[in-house]
Amino acid sequence: MNIPYIKCHGSDNDFLMIDERKLESTLSDEEREELALLLCDRLEGIGSDGILFILSSDKAKARMRMFNSDGSEAEMCGNGLRCVARYVIEESGEEKVDIETEKAVLAVERVGEIYEGIDTFSVAIEPVSLRTETLPMNWTNEQAIEVSIKELTDQQTFTALSVPNPHIVSVVEDFEEETLETVGQKANNLPGIFPGGVNVSFVKPIDKNRIFVQTYERGVGLTNACGTAMSASSIVSVLVSGNDKETPITVMNKGGMVNCIVHENGEYRVELQGNATYVYEAELEVDISSQSFEESFRDVHKNENERYEELRTYAKSQGR
Ligand SMILES: N[C@@H](CCC[C@H](N)C(=O)O)C(=O)O
């Protein structure tokens, strides 16, 4: 099977982006899962946090499906949607389009640069729900805001929300990555509470409307950034740490930074704004039955990667 793809990232949460509309035939779900397992592996494969599949849609300009590196499909992917937004916007020549995702048709658009020289895209993160049943999370109350989950740790509290993929968020003064990994692993081995798994984020407030977020992602593990988690964390920071809605919250992460604008009009909605960087474009010859592939490189996007390095250096200098 011949598969052209673009290696891309949002805040260094990296993906292989495959336009299925350009393949001889669309893939089956088994093939998407097999491709994710084969290609995302960082030792034996190409290495990435997941695969973004672009399909045609009868509801929007295009449709995105996202598979995690463990082969599971997620309802939504914020950093990935920015990459798909760029691809579809550049393809259509329009500045604002709609993209179908599993749970919603979402507006995406090109917006003002988040950092000099960085083409920036904004994606809508919705629907948002604080009802535990939407994650799903088996819990005694309808909501879980700042609750202790003793099966995870007795040192922290968590807030649960779906955006619409499932997240729990803990606001802490400081944290070690190892603690996040331990808690994330436990949460994803607790089917009695989180039957579908859950993304776990630790949030460190830095200043007013500025936070640092890191996430243990369901289906992946620790990542440099997770767009839906940064959106969920921004909502939680409004709810429990006094950050302001309707104005950007700058979210620093291990791979860079984004802006999240939390809107509330009866329900929460977030505008997630950040980079959508192409690393390189290449072509694959894949044989799924023998679990093998060959890769031929076509085009490295050197200039934009150099510009992204400047953003990364700046973000690092702002600390965590
Ligand atoms: N990194 C993504 C989220 C990807 C899906 C997540 N691991 C899940 O299974 O819910 C993002 O940027 O939102």
Q: How far is CA 100 from CA 14, 53, 80, 86, 282, in A?
A: 21, 12, 13, 14, 25
Ligand 1 atom at minimal distance to the Cα of residue 10: 12
Please write the tens of the pLDDT for every residue from 245-268: 999 999 999 999 999 999 999 999
**Could you give the CA distance from residue 312 to residue 100 in angstroms, rounded to a whole number?**
30
Q: How far is CA 62 from CA 53, 73, 97, in A?
A: 10, 18, 9
Please write the tens of the pLDDT for every residue from 45-58: 999 999 999 999 99
Residues 287 and 209 in one domain: no
Residues 154 and 261 in one domain: yes
Give mean pLDDT, residues 189-201: 98
Residues 265 and 143 in one domain: yes
Residues 9 and 97 in one domain: yes
pLDDT value at 186 more than 80: yes
Q: How far is CA 141 from CA 157, 207, 219, 236, in A?
A: 15, 32, 27, 18
* Angle formed by the axes of helices 78-92 and 227-241, nearest 10°: 120
Q: What's the pLDDT score for residue 109?
A: 98
Known binding-site residues for substrate equal 13, 68, 78-79, 165, 199, 217-218, 227-228
Please write the tens of the pLDDT for every residue from 80-107: 999 999 999 999 999 999 999 999 999 9
Q: State which of 15, 16, 52, 66 you would mutate to test the pocket of ligand 1, scoring each by most atoms of that ligand within 8 A of its C-beta.
A: 66
- With a 6 Å cutoff on the Cβ, whether 132 touches ligand 1 is no
Residue-range definition of the domain harbouring residue 209? 132-272
Residues 142 and 266 in one domain: yes
pTM for the full predicted model: 0.98
Residues 137 and 263 in one domain: yes
Rounded mean pLDDT of the chain?
Answer: 97
pLDDT value at 319 more than 80: no
Q: How far is CA 108 from CA 39, 251, 253, 281, in A?
A: 27, 19, 22, 23
Residues 236 and 192 in one domain: yes
Ligand 1 centroid to Cα of residue 228, in Å, is: 6
Alpha helices in 40-176 (DSSP H): 78-92
Residues 79 and 145 in one domain: no
**Could you give the CA distance from residue 273 to residue 85 in angstroms, rounded to a whole number?**
11
Q: What's the pLDDT score for residue 298?
A: 78
End position of a domain, from candidates 240, 256, 272: 272
Catalytic residue ranges: 77, 226
Ligand 1 centroid to Cα of residue 201, in Å, is: 12
Ligand 1 centroid to Cα of residue 223, in Å, is: 10
Number of domains in the chain: 2
Q: How far is CA 8 from CA 2, 133, 155, 301, in A?
A: 19, 33, 37, 10
pLDDT confidence bin for 158, thresholds 50/70/90: very high
Residues 288 and 206 in one domain: no
Residues 268 and 283 in one domain: no
Residues 140 and 236 in one domain: yes
Residues 155 and 120 in one domain: no
Helix (H) / strand (E) containing 271 = strand 267-275
Ligand 1 centroid to Cα of residue 90, in Å, is: 24
**Residue 24 sits in a domain of what CATH number?**
3.10.310.10
pLDDT value at 196 more than 80: yes
Both tokens of 78, joined, read 């914020």
- With a 6 Å cutoff on the Cβ, whether 255 touches ligand 1 is no
Q: What's the pLDDT score for residue 315?
A: 95
Known binding-site residues equal 13, 68, 78-79, 165, 199, 217-218, 227-228
